[in-house]
Structure 1
Amino acid sequence: MKRSVLFSAVLVAVCLVSTDLLANIDNLSNMSVEWMRTANRNAATDRADIVVYNPGGITELADGVAINIGNQSMRREPEHSYNAGMGEKSFEQDGDDPFLPNIYAAYNRDNWALWGGFYIPGGGAVVDYPTGSYTTNVLIPGNIAKGVADFIGGGLTGNDVFATLSTSNESLEAESMYLTFTLGGTYKFNDMVSVALGGRYIDADNSIEGTVAVESGNPLFNGVIAAGGFSDNKVDVEESAEGAGYILGLNLNLTERLNIGVQYQSKVELDFEADVKQDNLGLYVDGAENPRDFPAMLGVGVGWDILKRFYLEANYSYWFQEDADWGTDAQGRDISDMAGDTQSCGITGTIQWTEGLATSIGTVYTDFLWNDIDGYYSANIGSYEVLYSDNWQVCGGVSWQITKTVEVNAAIARTIWDDETITDQNTGLEIKTENATTTVALGANFTF
């Protein structure tokens, strides 16, 4: 009986990690190398990557075939720390994310255009804490301690749970990938107005591997731990979901130098189903489903050719996270309501030095409209390892027309997140977070 209670407590914690850690890496904007060197593409009409930024403007491309390919490599630096009265403990991400690829294609003829692409609008990153994290160091042991204490009448609460057990051989590694395919068409009514209609299909896969070894740190639990033989409990779980949505686009070419692009991407409903590869506890629910919809998005951009060789663009994007189903927490609170919506705004400039050589610099600020940041982090165990907060990106790059049909692009960007101090509602502890990312991107454009 005691063993069952102990294992059940661990199971609850592990289930929370596996269902929430990965699926909430949402709302990526960096889906092409062109975006990485400008940070603003909602009004662009010059490359095939506008399939995902301004599909209504694709008929502004030259007749024929346009192809855009690219890859991004990221060095992420999330850190978090806490102090439970026994000195500060800190945890850092280890490793890089070398691959975030994309490919887009468009075919234009007269007033019509067909377009499609493959890209990753969410995920694309690995969470790797080889020596553990707040989740493996505090939350899982804390849940064990609470479960055992409740069973034997110990009544442990708050910070007391962290003095009862010590952990060793901790590790946490997780990966998320939202593979997305899009297909649609654009029609140009006249020199001023073009509209687009398309669809997108998302095939999302998450995986998590974690190990927590719990040793007795208090005589109160010696008999329980010994009887249960509790050590080196491993979890290897994969989750998958698929869904589809629609895309609407509008492009207004107001003058030869002023262009406005608007697009709306609908919500994509995603229910992640668990596939248990390994579960030493023997109690994990194989086939359990958890909702994590991909939010709808509205993007608006204004592009202005101020001079013949200088282009200026301003963007605004909004993600309707509150309308997505992200499930509820243990108290029945809606998780997406706690998160609130997200918005971003930015500006970029491009100088065309010669017919074949251009440089760009841009910036974008992303604002999380939290309704309850502490509640969201507390309900989504694993958020401390990924980190979500307002952030500022500065980027730049170069494009070079090598031949009549081939252009290459290169970009580098630095993104810095606001530091946050989160009060975890499960433990009462304050968790301090900081994050920064450096991204290098390379790509090419082909026209035929």
Structure 2
Amino acid sequence: MKKRLGLLALTAVLTSVAYGASIDHIQTYTPEYLGNQAQNGMINNVSVYYNPAGIVNLEKGTYVHIGAQLAVGHEKMEYNDKDYKADLFQPIPNFALYKVEDDSALYWTFGGIAGGGDLKYDDGVAGTAVIPDIVNGMGGINIGGYLIKDLKDAGSSAEGKNLYAQTTLGKVWKIDNKLSLSAAGRLVYGIGELKGDLNLISDDKLSQGMIDKFFGGKIHADIDSERTAWGYGFQLGVNYQATEKLNLAMRYDSRVKLDFEAKGSKNDVPVLNLGFGSFYPEYMPGTKTRRDLPAILAAGMSYKVTDNWTVGLSGNYYFNKDAKMDEVVGIAEIGGHQIKGIEAEYDNGYEIALGTEYRINPKWAVLGGVNYAYTGAKYTSYDDVEFALDSIMVGTGLKYNPDETSEWVFTVAHYFYDSEEGHFSEKYKGMGISNPEYSKSITAFGVGYTKRF
């Protein structure tokens, strides 16, 4: 119990925003990534996250790294010409401690590894807004011999949170002057929350009279559910200094198996037996589902063009197809019609990044980078609690070294997301339901500090 409470205290400030990267995974482990996304082949103060096998090539000493990011923006669903929008204001911290010796190094990292921000949709979401359209499209529903029709929303709302925190402990071995290897173990804690209220009334006086009689003034359903899971995995890395100018690196993060169990409360619509569990079955209290973090193969190179200018190229490949991700669908009965959800489908995902670092003088350096992310999420996976959109990220930043043992990093990045349509027309086939459109707009700011002792 104490262990869980301690993790919750940490994850309270660790809600990580999946802006870019893959389905659940993020790559913004540190603020420096915002300014230069091509970190996989670099050897610098944040390589402990991206190229741990390379840290043995840093100067000897004990390093402490702390960072903080702030993501601002919004996530939005547009349905029937109405926007359902949640503003984002999310802090994201990270911490690392590592010790470099002549032929080896030890490292420990803590921070976010995956997830999405704490989002509150004050006007509801597309998944609840579609319910009155379904009922009205059928001409209403019969309750107790009376037809209830012309339903409309009456103050529905939803709030969701999805985060994963990780801690990784590993070691690096220097094989020779060119080759070094790393291995680590990883522990992951995942938590998801869903709170929702559905409230419907009718524009038809007779129908509203029946709602007053049977439902106390409004058709209502709610849910307050939390699902959690523990998982573990491993990390392997290799770094090869081909020449004095060219460095090559590769890292493999294993799949993390996560068996989630949902706990909480829900209230369905009386008589109809309709509720949030019909549309979000993974959050039904008592439900157990698998949602793994897929394995990642990360590779990169850095090339020192001049003494002051370094360029980098990175790539990440996400093995989404090998992971199990909420393979459960909901079933709802509305007016005698059975509506079955569509199973989410995923392809493998990838990222490609190009970055640069130019040192103006011994104290200051400029960062720049661009990243393209193909998440692998198909339209069948888009819903109110998840829509992983492809994106292009552009970032820049500054490094400041006040002395030989300290470094500050200041970064900013903006994400340009594709807009995508959902699958309502397929899920509610033959009911004249239009598809929602999903979009995001996020800007992130970061500051990091590293001290060598």
User: If the length of structure 2 is used for normalisation, what is the TM-score?
Assistant: 0.82
Q: Give the deviation of 1:168 after TM superposition.
A: 1.2
Alpha-carbon distance, 1:233 to partner: 3.4
> Structure 1 pair 214/315, CA: closer, same or farther in 2 (3 Å)?
same
* Match in the other structure for 1:108: 100
- Cα separation, partners in 2 of 1:436 and 1:105, compared to 1, 3 Å: same
Range moving further from structure 2, 192-201 or 49-58: 49-58
Q: How far, CA to CA, are the matches of 1:112 and 1:33 in structure 2?
A: 26
Distance in 2 separating the partners of 1:216 and 1:52: 55
Structure 2 counterparts to residues 313-352 of structure 1, below 5 A: 313-326=312-325, 327-329=327-329, 335=344, 338-352=345-359
How far residue 123 of structure 1 moved from its aligned partner, in angstroms, is 1.8
Instruction: For structure 1, list consecutive stretches of 5 or more residues without a partner in the other structure.
Output: 1-20
Deviations 1:370-409 (A, max 9, x none): 5xx33222xxx315xx532210000000010123322111
CA shift, 1:231, in A, is 4.2
Deviations 1:266-288 (A, max 9, x none): 11011211120564769975332
* Equivalent residue, structure 2, for 1:411: 411
Alignment match, 1:171: 157
Cα distance between partner residues in 1 of 2:452 and 2:60 = 9
Specify the code of the residue in structure 1 equivalent to 2:31.
Answer: V
* Counterparts of residues 5-404 of structure 1 (less than 5 Å): 26-47=24-45, 49-83=46-80, 88-97=81-90, 99-139=91-131, 142=134, 149=141, 164-217=150-203, 223=210, 226-229=213-216, 230-277=218-265, 279=267, 286-326=285-325, 327-329=327-329, 335=344, 338-370=345-377, 373-377=378-382, 381-383=383-385, 386-404=386-404
SS at 2:34 equivalent: helix
- Partner deviation per Cα, 1:328-384 (whole Å, 9 max, x = no partner): 43579753xx221111101011101111211111000011345xx33222xxx315x
Residues 201 and 208 in structure 2, CA contact (< 8 A), matched pair in contact too? no
- Structure 2 Cα separation of the partners of residues 119 and 199 of structure 1: 15
Higher mean alpha-carbon deviation, 206-215 vs 181-190, is at 206-215
Cα deviations across residues 36-74 of structure 1 (Å, max 9, x unaligned)?
110121011111x22221111121121111121101101
Measure the CA separation in 1 of the matches of 2:92 and 2:172: 27
Classify 1:44/1:166 alpha carbon distance in 2 versus 1 (closer, same or farther; 3 Å).
same
Contact 1:94 1:130 in 2 (8 A): no
The secondary structure found in structure 2 opposite 1:299 is strand
For these two proteins, the number of residue pairs brought into alignment is: 405
* Change over 3 Å in CA distance of 1:422–1:237 after alignment to 2: closer
Whole-Å separation in 2 of the counterparts to 1:324 and 1:308? 43
Moved segments of 4+, more than 6 Å: 143-146, 150-154, 280-284
Q: Distance in 2 between matches of 1:292 and 1:274?
A: 12
Q: Does the CA-based 8 Å contact 1:236-1:279 persist in structure 2?
A: no
AA partner of residue 339 (structure 1): Y
Q: Secondary structure at the match of 1:96?
A: strand
For residues 224-257 of structure 1, give each alpha carbon's deviation from its aligned partner in whole angstroms, at most 9, with x where no partner exists: 6732435453322111111000101011111111
Query: Mind listing any 5+ residue stretches in structure 2 that lack a counterpart?
Result: 1-17, 278-283, 331-339
| Paired AA for residue 237 in structure 2 | G
CA distance in 2, matches of 1:181, 1:374: 32
CA shift in 2, pair 1:269/1:139, >3 Å: farther
Structure 2: how far apart are the matches of 1:410 and 1:200?
28
Task: Find the aligned partners of 1:143 and 1:236 in 2 and give their Cα distance.
Answer: 25
Letter in 2 for 1:305: K
Residue 445 of structure 1 corresponds to which residue in structure 2? 450
How far, CA to CA, are the matches of 2:192 and 2:27 in structure 1? 20
Q: Determine the C-alpha separation between the residues in 2 that align with 1:254 and 1:121.
A: 30
SS in 2 for 1:430: coil
Identity among equivalent positions (%) equals 23
* Matched AA of 2:366: T
